[in-house]
Amino acid sequence: MVGKACHILNVTTNLRRLFIIGIILSFLSCNLSGKKPESQKDKEMFGLFKKKTGKKTEVISHADYNLIFENKEVENTPIELLKIGDLNVPSGEIVVCDPLVYSDTPPLTKKVKPGKYPVKIYVAKTKDSGDRYAIAKLEFSNKKAEKWIMALRAEDDINELIDEADYFGFPVDAGLGGFYDFRSGQEYQKFESDFMKTNPEGNIYDDFFAAEFKKNAKDQNDPKDIGDWINFQLPNSELNITMFHSGYGDGTYPSYWGIDKEGEIVSLVIDFLVLLVPKYE
For the segment 5-24, what is each residue's pLDDT rounded down to a tens digit?
Answer: 333 334 344 445 544 445 44
- Is 1 among the domain residues? no
* β-bridge mates for residue 245, sequence order: 176
Closest-CA residue to 274 (of 104, 121, 94):
121
- Is 83 among the domain residues? yes
Band of pLDDT at residue 146, cut at 50, 70 and 90: very high
Q: Out of 36-45, 149-158, 248-257, which region has the weakest mean confidence (pLDDT)?
A: 36-45
Band of pLDDT at residue 70, cut at 50, 70 and 90: very high
- Is 133 among the domain residues? yes
Question: What is the model's pLDDT at position 17?
Answer: 52
Q: How far apart are the first and last CA of the chain?
A: 89
- Is 177 among the domain residues? yes
- Is 165 among the domain residues? yes
Range(s) of the domain holding residue 248: 66-271
- Is 226 among the domain residues? yes
- Is 61 among the domain residues? no
Question: What is the model's pLDDT at position 280?
Answer: 74
**Number of domains composing the chain:** 1
Q: What percent of the chain has pLDDT over 70?
A: 80
When pLDDT is averaged across residues 238-244 and rounded to a whole number, the result is 99
When pLDDT is averaged across residues 88-98 and rounded to a whole number, the result is 99
DSSP letters spanning the chain: -HHHHHHHHHHHHHHHHHHHHHHHHHHHHHHHHTPPPPPHHHHHHHHHHHHHHSPPS--B-SS-THHHHS-SEETTEEEEEEEEEEEEESSSBEEEE-TTT-TTPPPBSSB--SEEEEEEEEEEEETTTEEEEEEEEEES-SSPPSEEEE--BTT--GGG--STT----EEESSSEEEEEEHHHHHHHHHHHHHHHHH-TT--HIIIIIHHHHHTT-S-TT-TT---SEEEEEPTTSS-EEEEEE-TTSSEEE-EEEEE-TTS-EEEEEEE-SSSS-----
> What mean pLDDT is reported for the chain?
87
pTM of the model: 0.80
Band of pLDDT at residue 229, cut at 50, 70 and 90: very high
Question: What is the model's pLDDT at position 247?
Answer: 98
Can you tell me the distance from the alpha carbon of 219 to that of 108, in angstroms, rounded to the nearest whole number? 36
When pLDDT is averaged across residues 257-266 and rounded to a whole number, the result is 98
